[in-house]
């Protein structure tokens, strides 16, 4: 297992494909990291599907409104269109590159529309640099990310079983 140097700034994602450990980057995107930790601590991501997974690009998840299996608002046809009840975040674009394992916030055309959805890059995606707010980097479990079922939308999608801040585990 990867050494967790900063448990307060590490999240552990248990997915239907296995464990993924993400080092958070508060020095790069402090507000986005705070939101990820807040939602993880509320267990908001538990049961949320990977609704958009594109081969050689990325796996997107985090729609806590329409993408959470077992919730009253779960709607596979709308997964990817929702967020949390919290306000959208102001962009925190940085010089941090989108490389394999980068975790970044999803958003609409509006740069200040990130809320709860995020994606994990399968490969380097330099065209996303300085366009999306990078908040983390996978330090263990990319082999499990690679196993996530592909699709747009994904039929019978994989999901986040649980997402916890390592300091709380």
3-state DSSP assignment of residue 30: helix
Q: What was the pLDDT predicted at 169?
A: 94
With pLDDT > 70 as the criterion, what percentage of the chain qualifies?
99
Domain boundaries, the chain: 7-165
Q: How many angstroms separate the CA atoms of 93 and 84, rounded?
A: 21
**Nearest one of 109, 98, 120 to 36, comparing CA atoms:** 120
CATH number given to 7-165: 2.40.100.10
Distances (CA, A) of 28 to 64, 96, 104, 153: 24, 8, 11, 31
User: For residue 104, what are the β-bridge partners?
Assistant: 119, 134
Q: Note the pLDDT of residue 2.
A: 75
User: What is the arrangement of strands in the sheet containing 18-24, beginning at the earlier edge strand?
Assistant: 52-54, 58-61, 118-121, 102-105, 134-140, 18-24, 10-15, 160-165
Q: What is the pLDDT of residue 3?
A: 86
Structure confidence at residue 118 (pLDDT): 98
pLDDT digit of tens for each residue in the chain (169 aa)?
Answer: 678 999 999 999 999 999 999 999 999 999 999 999 999 999 999 999 999 999 999 999 999 999 999 999 999 999 999 999 999 999 999 999 999 999 999 999 999 999 999 999 999 999 999 999 999 999 999 999 999 999 999 999 999 999 999 999 9
Classify 121 as helix, strand or coil. strand
Residue 142 has what pLDDT? Answer: 98
- 3-class SS of residue 23: strand
The whole-number pLDDT of residue 1 equals 66
């Amino acid at each position: 297992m990867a050494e967790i140097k900063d448990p307060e700034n590490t999240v552990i994602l248990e997915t239907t494909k296995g464990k993924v450990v993400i080092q958070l980057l508060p020095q790069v995107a402090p507000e986005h990291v705070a939101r990820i930790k807040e939602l993880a601590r509320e267990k908001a991501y538990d049961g949320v599907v990977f609704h958009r997974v594109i081969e050689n690009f990325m796996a997107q998840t985090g729609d806590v409104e329409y993408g959470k299996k077992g919730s009253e608002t779960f709607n596979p046809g709308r997964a990817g269109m929702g967020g949390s009840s919290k306000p959208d975040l102001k962009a925190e674009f940085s010089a941090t590159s989108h490389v394999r394992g980068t975790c970044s916030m999803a958003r609409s055309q509006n740069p200040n529309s990130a809320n709860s959805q995020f994606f994990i890059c399968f490969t380097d995606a330099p065209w996303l640099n300085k366009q999306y707010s990078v908040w983390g980097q996978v330090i263990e479990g990319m082999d499990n990310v690679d196993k996530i079922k592909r699709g747009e939308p994904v039929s019978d999608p994989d999901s986040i079983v649980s997402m916890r801040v390592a300091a709380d585990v």
